[in-house]
């Protein structure tokens, strides 16, 4: 097991390097340059040229790449052109928001996805089942930007229960009340992402409930709730865990739309902002981080499988 983990971790580095190369050259294909964005509408072409020169943007591409690579090996991902702070610091700041949002949304996804999914499987083809299926379908169909705005309209504008937008740090201020900024966004994200989990839980449970060992457990006189929760769920868990972990990864990195609606300073929005502002160092740093995130989550998921299902071994 330990050897397997080490192997996997070692394989991550070359992948990240590949990502870096691809991203570096790809984003420079995008027309427009950061100097123009920084200086704004009043700048004359000479001003822009002067800034480009100052930023080293007129150097040949390979030279720029070489310099960047050297710095990356020292752990320095450069300065964000748009935000004037080290890229690592910038991403970490945004990461806090995205992480907390993902966490809260994951809780919502679980609550809206797993118990109802189990219930629907147990009460198959009844009204409850149909209701859940409709609910899940709705979640998969409703655009997150619209749901978010409607929630905002209802619970922040018309009835001012929650703040409409923005975010105040929880970690830096230690103020737990700042979670109120995350309530509406996590409800939005949670509802939309719970659809898949609910359906998968239901179908996975349905399959498992037909298996022999479930019938055996029932005939042994085990209580029904125990049958479901202990025996069936354990075996149904694998696909649920898969979907859940990738949903979490997705929540971290691609909650762009929800972050945009609620003005949350998260990673998703940072991607859009840095692309619009041609903030090359930030885009590069972000892509590496996202790739890294996915690779790690992949690894953790695989390890979790081994714990859930003793039959799986990684020798």
Partner 1 sequence: MFKVLWRRKIGLGGFIVLISICLVAIFAPFVAPCDPYQLNPSIRLQPPNRAHLFGTDMFGRDILSRVLYGARLSLITGFSVALLSGTLGVGVGVVSAYFKQTGMILMRINDALMAFPEIILALALLAIAGHASLANVIIALGVTYAPRMARTAYGLALRIREFGYIEAAQAVGSGSFRIIFYHLLPNLISPVIVQTTFTCALAVLGAASLDFLGVGVSPEVPSWGAMVNEGRIYITIAPWVIVFPGFFVALLVLALNLLGDALRDALDPRLRRLV
Partner 2 sequence: MRRYILLTLLCVGMVFGVLAEQPKYGGTLRYATIGEPPHLDLMLVTSDLASTIGQHIFETLFTFDEHYAPIPLLVDTYEVRSDGREIVLHLRQGILFHNGKELQAEDVVASLERWGKYGIRGPIMFQHVTAVVADDKYTVRILFETPFGPWQSLLAFNNGGPMIIPKEIAEAAGGKPLTPDQYIGTGPYKFAEWIPGKYIRLVRFEGYKSREEPPTGYGGARHAYLDEILFIPVPEAGTRLAGVQAGDFDYAEMIPADLYSVVKADPNINTYLLRPPFMALLFRNTKQGIMANNLMLQAVLAALDMEPIMKAAFGELFELNGSIFPKGTIWYSTAGTERYNQANLDKAKELLKEAGYAGEPIRLLTNTSYQYMYQYSLVIADQLRKAGMNIELRVYDWATMVKYRAQSGEWDLFVTSHGPIPDPALLTALSPTYPGWWDTPQKNELVNLFNTTVDFKDRYAIWEKIQALWYEEGSCIKLGDFYTLNISSAKRVGGLDDPHQPPLLWPYFWNAWLKG
| Residues at the site binding partner 2, with contacts judged by CB under 8 A | 31-34, 36-48, 83-85, 89-90, 93, 163-166, 263, 265, 276-278
Residues 261-280 that bind partner 1 (CB under 8 A): 261, 268, 271-272, 275-276
Cβ closer to partner 1: 169 or 235? 235
**Residue 257 in the binding site for partner 1 (CB under 8 A):** yes
Nearest-10 crossing angle of helices 233-254, 267-276: 30
Contact between 253 and partner 1 (CB under 8 A)?
yes
Among 3, 14, 31, 221, binds partner 1 (CB under 8 A): 31
Q: Which residue has the tokens 């992480």?
A: 99
Under a CB-based contact definition with an 8 Å cutoff, are residues 229 and 83 in contact?
Answer: no
- Of partner 1, partner 2, none, which one sits near residue 141, judging by CB under 5 to 8 A according to partner kind? partner 1
d(CA 120, CA 122): 5
Nearer residue to partner 2 within complex by CB, 248 or 262 = 262
Interactions with partner 1, residue window 54-113 (CB under 8 A) = none
Token pair of 151, please?
A: 């929630």
> Residue 48 touches which of partner 2, partner 1, none (CB < 5 to 8 A by kind)?
partner 2
Going by the DSSP 8-state scheme, the letter that residue 125 receives in this structure is T
From candidates 1, 67, 71, 146, binder to partner 1 by CB under 8 A? 146
**Burial label, 176 (beta-carbon count in 10 A; 0-12, 13-18, 19+):** exposed
Q: Is the dihedral of CA 36, 262, 272, 76 positive or negative?
A: positive
- Tell which residue, 148, 125, 142, has the closest CA to residue 202: 125
CA 256, CA 75: separation in Å to the nearest integer?
27
Binding site for partner 1 (CB under 8 A): 26-27, 29-31, 137-138, 140-146, 149-150, 152-153, 157, 196, 199-200, 203, 207, 246, 249-250, 253-254, 256-257, 260-261, 268, 271-272, 275-276, 290, 294, 298
């Amino acid at each position: 097991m330990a050897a397997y983990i080490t192997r996997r971790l070692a394989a991550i580095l070359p992948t990240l390097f590949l990502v870096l190369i691809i991203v570096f050259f790809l984003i420079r294909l995008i027309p427009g340059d950061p100097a123009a964005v920084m200086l704004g509408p009043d700048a004359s072409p000479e001003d822009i040229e002067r800034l480009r020169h100052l930023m080293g943007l007129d150097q040949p591409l390979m030279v720029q790449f070489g310099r960047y690579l050297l710095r990356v090996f020292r752990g320095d991902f450069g300065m964000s052109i748009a935000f004037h702070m080290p890229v690592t610091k910038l991403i970490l700041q945004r990461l806090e928001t995205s992480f907390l949002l993902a966490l809260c949304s994951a809780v919502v996804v679980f609550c809206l996805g797993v118990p109802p999914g189990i219930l629907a499987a147990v009460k198959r083809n009844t009204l409850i089942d149909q209701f859940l299926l409709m609910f899940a379908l709705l979640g998969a169909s409703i655009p997150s930007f619209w749901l978010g705005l409607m929630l905002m309209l209802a619970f922040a504008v018309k009835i001012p229960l929650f703040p409409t937008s923005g975010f105040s740090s929880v970690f830096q201020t230690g103020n737990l009340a700042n979670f109120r900024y995350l309530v509406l966004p996590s409800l939005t994200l949670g509802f939309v992402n719970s659809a898949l989990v609910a359906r998968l839980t239901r179908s996975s449970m349905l399959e498992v409930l037909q298996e022999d060992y479930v019938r055996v457990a029932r005939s042994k006189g085990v209580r029904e709730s125990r049958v479901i929760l202990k025996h069936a769920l354990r075996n149904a868990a694998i696909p649920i865990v898969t979907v859940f972990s990738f949903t979490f990864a997705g929540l971290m990195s691609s909650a762009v739309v929800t972050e945009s609606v609620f003005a949350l300073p998260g990673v998703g929005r940072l991607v859009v902002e840095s692309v619009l502002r041609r903030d090359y160092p930030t885009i590069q740093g972000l892509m590496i981080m996202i790739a890294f995130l996915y690779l790690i989550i992949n690894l953790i998921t695989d390890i979790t499988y081994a714990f859930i299902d003793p039959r799986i071994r990684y020798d």
